Amino acid sequence: MMNSTGSDVIIIGGGLAGLALSILLAQQHHTVTVFEKDDYPRHKVCGEYISMESFPFLEQLGILLSDMKLPVINKLLLTDVHGNEMFTDLPQGGFGISRYMLDDLLAKRAVACGVVLNVKTRVDDVLFDGDGFTVLAAARQYTAKIVCGAWGKRANMDVKWHRSFIKEKQKGLDNYIGVKYHVRLPWTDNLIALHNFNGGYCGISRIEDDKCCLCYLTTAANLKQNGNDIAEMERNVLMKNPALGKIFSEAEFLYDTPVTISQISFRKKDTVLNHVLLLGDAAGMITPLCGNGMSIALHTAKIAFGAVDNFFISGGRKQMEYVYNKEWCKKFYFRIFAGRILQRIFEKQLAGNMFLSIFKKLTFLHQPVIKLTSGRPF
Told to check if 264 binds ligand FAD by CB under 6 A, we report yes
Told to check if 289 binds ligand FAD by CB under 6 A, we report no
Choices 2-10, 42-50, 108-116, 140-148 (CB under 6 A): range interacting with ligand FAD? 42-50
Q: Please, what is the minimum distance in Å from the beta carbon of residue 191 to ligand FAD?
A: 14
Are 307 and 327 in contact, with CB atoms under 8 Å apart?
yes
Name which position in 32, 217, 304, 338 contacts ligand FAD (CB under 6 A): 217
Within 10 A of 283 (CB to CB), how many other CB atoms are there?
A: 26
Choices 221-229, 280-288, 306-314, 323-331 (CB under 6 A): range interacting with ligand FAD? 280-288
Name which position in 71, 258, 293, 352 contacts ligand FAD (CB under 6 A): 293
> Which parts of 23-175 are beta strand (E)?
32-35, 49-51, 72-79, 85-96, 116-118, 123-128, 133-137, 140-149
Paired with 178 in beta bridges are 217, 261
> Which parts of 150-271 are beta strand (E)?
176-184, 191-197, 200-206, 212-219, 252-253, 259-264
* DSSP, res 226: T
Q: Please, what is the minimum distance in Å from the beta carbon of residue 32 to ligand FAD?
A: 14
Q: Please, what is the minimum distance in Å from the beta carbon of residue 49 to ligand FAD?
A: 4
Q: What is the x/- site pattern for ligand FAD, positions 125-154, by CB under 6 A? A: -------------------------xxx--
In this complex, which beta carbon is closest to ligand FAD, that of residue 89 or of residue 358?
A: 89
Name which position in 295, 325, 343, 374 contacts ligand FAD (CB under 6 A): 295
Q: Please, what is the minimum distance in Å from the beta carbon of residue 269 to ligand FAD?
A: 11
Told to check if 36 binds ligand FAD by CB under 6 A, we report yes
Q: Please, what is the minimum distance in Å from the beta carbon of residue 341 to ligand FAD?
A: 18
Residue 278: alpha-carbon gap to chain centroid: 14
Instruction: Cite the DSSP H helix spans in the chain.
Output: 16-27, 55-61, 99-112, 156-160, 164-167, 220-225, 230-236, 242-250, 293-314, 317-346, 349-361, 366-372
Size of the site for ligand FAD (CB under 6 A): 40
> Which letter, b or e, does each residue of 69-96 get, where b requires 16 or more Cβ atoms within 10 Å of its Cβ?
ebbebbbbbbbbbeebebebebebbbbb
Binding site residues, ligand FAD, CB under 6 A: 12-18, 35-38, 45-50, 122-123, 150-152, 155-157, 178, 215, 217, 264, 280-282, 285, 288, 291-295, 297
